[in-house]
């Protein structure tokens, strides 16, 4: 699935709304690479990272709220990505 308005396949960042993912997205977007962020937004405050990316990069960013464990949702989203970064993880491994 190529998000509407993308002329080329995006780079997908699973877990892309966290600190590392959003900064990776910013770097790619700044280089003119379209980005698809996939995140379940379970960590408080990560929506602010997405708002920052959207404000800064507009229609070069697509966001899909989904859980990394949901293969039925992820498979079609990732099928046409030019690259995939998997950054979805439990932030505090002690929990």
**Tell me, what's the pLDDT at 7?**
75
Q: Residues 74-92: what's their mean pLDDT?
A: 90
**Burial class of residue 76, CB neighbours in 10 A (0-12, 13-18, 19+):** exposed
* pLDDT per position as a tens digit, 22-73: 999 999 999 999 999 999 998 888 999 999 999 999 999 999 999 999 999 9
Please give the biggest Cα pair distance in the chain: 42
φ/ψ (deg, to 5) at 85? -110, 125
User: Residue 95: pLDDT band by 50, 70, 90 thresholds?
Assistant: low
* pLDDT at residue 1 tops 60: no
Which domains are seen in the chain, by residue range? 11-86 (3.40.50.720)
């Amino acid at each position: 699935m190529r998000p509407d308005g993308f002329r080329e396949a995006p780079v997908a960042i699973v877990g892309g709304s966290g600190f590392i993912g959003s900064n990776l997205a910013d770097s790619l977007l700044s280089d003119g690479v379209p980005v698809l962020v996939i995140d379940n937004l379970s960590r408080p405050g990560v929506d602010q990272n997405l708002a920052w990316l959207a404000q800064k990069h507009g229609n070069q960013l697509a966001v899909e709220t989904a859980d990394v464990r949901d293969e039925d949702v992820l498979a079609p989203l990732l099928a046409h990505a030019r690259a995939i970064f998997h950054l979805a993880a439990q932030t505090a491994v002690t929990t």
